[in-house]
Amino acid sequence: MDWAVEQWTQFDAWYQKLFRSLHAAVANPDLWLHVVTVGVKILAILVGTHLAVRLARTVIERLVEQRDKGRIAINERRLRTMASLMVNVATYTLYFLAMLLVLGQLGFDLRPILAGAGVVGLAVGFGAQNLVRDVITGFFIIFEDQFAVGDVIQVGQYKGTVIEMGLRVTKIRSWTGEVHIIPNGRITEVTNFSVANALAVVDVGLAYDIDVDKAMRVLREEVLEQAHRELSDLVAKPEVLGVEQFSPSGMMLRVVAECKPNTQFAVARAMRQMIKEAFDRHGIPILQPHMVMVQRTSPQA
């Protein structure tokens, strides 16, 4: 019994001491003033950082919009890509500074943090070699202007439109809507379909008994003229190259047209429709695959 009374007395004394300490702290106006002041400062830092990020994004976008007003011509593709990269760098930098300011308001000494950042950065550099490789590769992609935002490229098995280039990854959207996120360090070979003009190639099959001169005359005088007038993606008048090849069932006439980058498929589809309609008007049938069967008869005895 005496042991239980002694334990209860010690617990009651500890509880009373804790209660007096908490009461003194809660009743201290200086403490609450400090808490409110720190909270307001942290809130101001966060709000200011958010506004600074939006301001930086707006300024960069305004610079891109006014690119044509300068006296020095700047490649539009590279300018848009650099704008996306500048937004990412500004966002990361501002949020890092905001984190340091918040830690300073919470009472952390920033000097050892900044001093140890160099050592930590060196260790991270050894441990995050893939990350460093991604960043360096991304820099050279932009510096060498290999591709830019809005280009249609193929990286390995992925083909689509570049929608974003960051410090570490490149995002490609395929024509069916999927978005592929590729680390820049994995981009070793790139095929860019948006740099030079494309060539639309259309092959038309004709039977051997068709008048080739008539078919080529219809192509030149009607189809090519119509395509030159109606297809805005063409950069030069289409040409009829002539008979391209012979096959067991007929021959192929080839028509080519130089067009804007990455528009060759749409131009080829439109020209095929024009060729079909023109040949129908002139009674020229397009080659249809057919099979001839020869039945052997056994010699009579």
CA distances (Å), 17 to each of 8, 11, 26, 179, 182, in order?
14, 10, 14, 62, 61
Predicted local confidence at residue 67, as pLDDT: 57
Average pLDDT estimate for 176-185? 90
Alpha-carbon distance 288 to 291, whole Å?
A: 10
Q: Which two tokens stand for residue 152?
A: 């249609």
Give the pLDDT confidence of 108-149 residue by residue, as tens digits: 776 776 666 666 666 666 656 777 788 788 878 877 778 888
The residue to which tokens 């106006």 are assigned: 29
Is the pLDDT higher at 174 or at 148?
A: 174
CA-closest candidate to residue 240, choices 262, 261, 259, 223:
223
Amino acid residing at 114: L
Quick check: helix, strand or coil at residue 124?
A: helix
- Mean pLDDT score across all residues of the chain: 79
Give the contacts of 225 (CB within 8 A, at least 6 positions apart).
Answer: none
Q: Are 168 and 139 in contact (CB under 8 A)?
A: no
Predicted local confidence at residue 127, as pLDDT: 59
Quick check: helix, strand or coil at residue 121?
A: helix
pTM strictly above 0.95: no
Domains of the chain: 30-108 (1.10.287.1260), 146-192 (2.30.30.60), 198-281 (3.30.70.100)
Identify the band that residue 26 occupies on the pLDDT scale cut at 50, 70 and 90.
low
Read off φ and ψ for residue 21, nearest 5 degrees.
-65, -45
